[in-house]
């Protein structure tokens, strides 16, 4: 399927749903609450501008590259998140009211008619519920914005890796993933992430894709901060789908220029002599959809010995059943963001199951899926906080 057709098949339904959501919220939170013409007109303008901005937020920075346009773009992205939570709470109120009304009708189908509530009382109830839903949506959105920009938490995860030599017990692999440096997260975020990571004194650092949303020319000065990462056995990088949207080959060259090793369907040995294990990495699973060679598990595992401990870096948790069948001890992935924003975390659990976030097992193999450090789309994190994962390897 051509890329433009895939884009249209995704974009058109999203556009229709976004428009319907704006109309519904205007009717419920404005038209049903006030009859005054001034507030209604102001709200119409606000919703229209918000809708247009939500569609064109990313294009704005490309057309008018400036700090002002960047901040405006962030505001429009935040508007998308606000709309989501206003919809969640307003729909919840409406569904609850409809369910209570239906239950009341079923319980008293032949009850004598009673005096209907006055229009004033009904209007007061409608206003109160609308205000409550609006305040709840605004509160959750505000929390989500704070959590997204707040530095990621460090999560310690003990992992019993099959065939790991006793001499490497306690080996720490720090994973950074789904950072999404771009129009929102820039050098300040990078420097904070590097500082927190180095403070953990890791043995090895793995960046498992979706590093950027933009070109080397635009984002190189921000990403250059990752050259400050320090680990005993070095820093390694594998590509994610967003890196391919941003010219993966150019970014691979840039990362190598920072002294970061890129594992493109190949493996290396970590450690020395018997106190070592195999570290492999694959290109992103979906790269072939963009006409790139992409994921090649056979090439990545060609030099991985079955009698040694092995770790695979792969952006997406896709194809892990095959990875487990090949006997790889641990796969380290990201991509899912853990759903990023409620109810996305629930949807992610439905789609990915145990592989949406955290540590899970298939046969004798383990996979750890991080919720990621950054975000994509609305600058919010609700129900899926960002993380720096510190995997502590133990003999299996």
Phi, psi for 341 (deg, rounded to 5): -135, 125
**More confident position, 105 or 352:** 352
CATH 3.60.21.10 boundaries in the chain: 154-395
Of 50-64, 208-222, 365-379, minimum mean pLDDT range: 50-64
pLDDT in tens, 3-38: 566 666 767 888 898 999 999 999 999 998 888 999
**Residue 268: closest CA among 204, 194, 338, 351:** 204
CB 341 within 8 A of CB 381: yes
**Percentage of residues in the chain with pLDDT exceeding 70?**
92
Q: What is the pLDDT of residue 109?
A: 59
Q: What is the pLDDT of residue 124?
A: 79
pLDDT in tens, 177-188: 999 999 899 999
Residue 207 pairs in a beta bridge with 176, 237
Q: What is the pLDDT of residue 5?
A: 67
Reported confidence tier of residue 282, pLDDT bands at 50, 70, 90:
very high
Superfamily of chain region 154-395: Metallo-dependent phosphatases (3.60.21.10)
Q: What is the pLDDT of residue 59?
A: 63
b/e code 118-157 from CB counts within 10 Å (16+ = b): eeeeeeeeeeebbeebbebbeebbeebbebbbeebeebeb
Reported confidence tier of residue 56, pLDDT bands at 50, 70, 90:
confident
Average pLDDT over every residue of 380-389: 97
């Amino acid at each position: 399927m051509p890329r433009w057709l895939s884009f249209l098949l995704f974009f058109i339904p999203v556009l229709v749903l976004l428009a319907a959501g704006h109309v519904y919220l205007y009717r419920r939170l404005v038209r049903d609450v006030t009859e005054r013409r001034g507030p209604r007109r102001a709200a119409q303008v606000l919703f229209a501008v918000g809708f247009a901005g939500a569609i064109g937020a990313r294009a704005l920075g490309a057309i008018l590259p400036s700090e002002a346009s960047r901040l405006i773009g962030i505001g429009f992205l935040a508007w998308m998140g606000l709309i989501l939570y206003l919809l969640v709470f307003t729909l919840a109120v409406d569904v609850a009211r409809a369910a209570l009304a239906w239950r009341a009708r079923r319980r008293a189908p032949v009850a004598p008619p009673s005096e209907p509530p006055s229009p004033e009382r009904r209007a007061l109830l409608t206003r109160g519920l609308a205000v409550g839903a609006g305040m709840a949506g605004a509160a959750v959105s505000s929390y989500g914005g704070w959590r997204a920009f707040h530095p990621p938490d460090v999560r310690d995860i003990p992992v019993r890796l099959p065939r790991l030599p006793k001499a490497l017990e306690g080996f720490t692999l720090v994973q950074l993933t789904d950072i999404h440096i771009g129009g929102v997260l820039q050098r300040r975020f990078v420097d904070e992430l590097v500082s927190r990571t180095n403070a953990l004194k890791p043995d090895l650092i793995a960046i498992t894709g979706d590093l950027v949303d933009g070109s080397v020319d635009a984002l190189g000065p921000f990403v250059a901060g990752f050259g400050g990462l320090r680990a005993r056995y070095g820093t390694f990088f594998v590509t994610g789908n967003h890196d391919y949207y941003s010219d993966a080959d150019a970014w691979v060259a840039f990362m190598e220029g920072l002294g970061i090793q890129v594992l493109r369907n190949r493996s290396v040995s970590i450690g020395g002599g018997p106190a070592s294990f195999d570290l492999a990495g694959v290109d992103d699973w979906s790269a072939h959809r963009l006409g790139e060679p992409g994921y090649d598990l056979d090439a990545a595992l060609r030099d991985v010995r079955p009698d040694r401990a092995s770790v695979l870096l792969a952006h997406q948790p896709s194809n892990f059943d095959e990875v487990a069948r090949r006997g790889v001890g641990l796969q380290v992935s990201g991509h899912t963001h853990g759903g990023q924003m409620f109810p996305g975390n629930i949807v992610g659990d439905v789609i990915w199951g145990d592989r949406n976030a955290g540590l899970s097992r298939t046969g004798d193999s383990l996979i750890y899926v991080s919720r990621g450090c950054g975000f994509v789309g609305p600058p919010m994190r609700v129900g899926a906080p960002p993380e720096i994962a510190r995997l502590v390897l133990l003999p299996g």
